[in-house]
């Protein structure tokens, strides 16, 4: 699946096995940048670990449980994002994302999120989209704020990050709110 923004040549494309080496390279180059927020970084040691992630992503997508995309700026892989969870019964999606340091601050993630939010509400007919962010991750938290999401609360000690439990802020957007903002 390919989704395109209307600005600066940003494309979201479902991850393919042939993306494993380049996605691993992006991960490896950005370990220090993304590690404080993502628990899987230390477990991703070779491109084969990334290949296993992509294969799991393809299986999840086929089973409609989750969907992961590479974020491409031109012909460069800039990051990764997707629906971490698709809840078809409750009509709810949870977005997750990360971007390489050299691509941060360019509005790429905000544009990419808009694509997946539009798809969740317009194509999937979901009622709600959530974004969970580490409480101390100011850059990640800025994305749902920019998009007009509402802070719904904090989940205490939500995630084990190497040597401590991290709290998460949950942001939510309802379909009717999104449509009124568009």
Cα dihedral value 170, 88, 112, 26, nearest 10: 80
**Residue 57 and residue 23 in contact, taking contact as beta carbons nearer than 8 Å:** no
**Residue 34 and residue 92 in contact, taking contact as beta carbons nearer than 8 Å:** no
Can you give the pLDDT at residue 33?
Answer: 95
Dig out the tokens for 59 from the structure.
Answer: 């299986």
Q: Cα separation of 136 and 119, whole Å?
A: 29
Can you give the pLDDT at residue 181?
Answer: 80
pLDDT per position as a tens digit, 32-46: 999 999 999 999 999
Q: Cα separation of 38 and 74, whole Å?
A: 26
Distances (CA, A) of 6 to 11, 12, 24, 73, 111: 9, 12, 27, 12, 9
At residue 140 the predicted structure's pLDDT band, cuts being 50, 70 and 90, is: very high
Helical packing angle, 47-62 and 20-29, nearest 10°: 120
**Residue 2 or 35, more confident:** 35
pLDDT per position as a tens digit, 96-131: 999 999 999 999 999 999 999 999 999 999 999 999
Q: Give this prediction's pTM.
A: 0.91
Q: Which domains does the chain have, with CATH numbers?
A: 2-181 (3.40.630.30)
- The residue among 103, 157, 109, 112 whose CA lies nearest residue 135 is 157
- Residue 1 confidence (pLDDT) above 80: no
- List phi, psi (to 5°) of 151: -70, 125
- Residue 6 confidence (pLDDT) above 80: no
As to burial, measured by CB atoms within 10 angstroms (0-12 exposed, 13-18 middle, 19+ buried), residue 70 is buried
């Amino acid at each position: 699946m390919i989704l395109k923004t209307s600005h600066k040549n940003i494309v979201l494309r479902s991850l393919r096995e042939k993306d494993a080496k380049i996605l691993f390279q992006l991960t490896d180059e950005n370990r220090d940048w993304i590690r404080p927020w993502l628990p899987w970084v230390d477990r991703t040691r070779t491109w084969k670990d990334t290949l296993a992630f992509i294969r799991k992503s393809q299986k999840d997508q086929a089973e409609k449980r989750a969907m992961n995309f590479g974020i491409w700026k031109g012909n460069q892989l800039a990051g990764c994002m997707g629906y971490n969870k698709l809840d078809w019964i409750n009509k709810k999606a949870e977005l997750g994302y990360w971007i390489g340091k050299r691509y941060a601050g360019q509005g790429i993630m905000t544009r990419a999120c808009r694509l997946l939010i539009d798809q969740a509400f317009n194509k999937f007919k979901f009622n709600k989209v959530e974004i969970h962010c580490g409480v101390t991750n100011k850059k990640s938290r800025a994305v749902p704020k920019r998009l007009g999401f509402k802070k719904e609360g904090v989940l205490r000690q939500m995630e084990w990050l190497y040597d401590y439990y991290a709290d998460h802020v949950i942001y939510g957007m309802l379909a009717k709110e999104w449509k009124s903002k568009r």
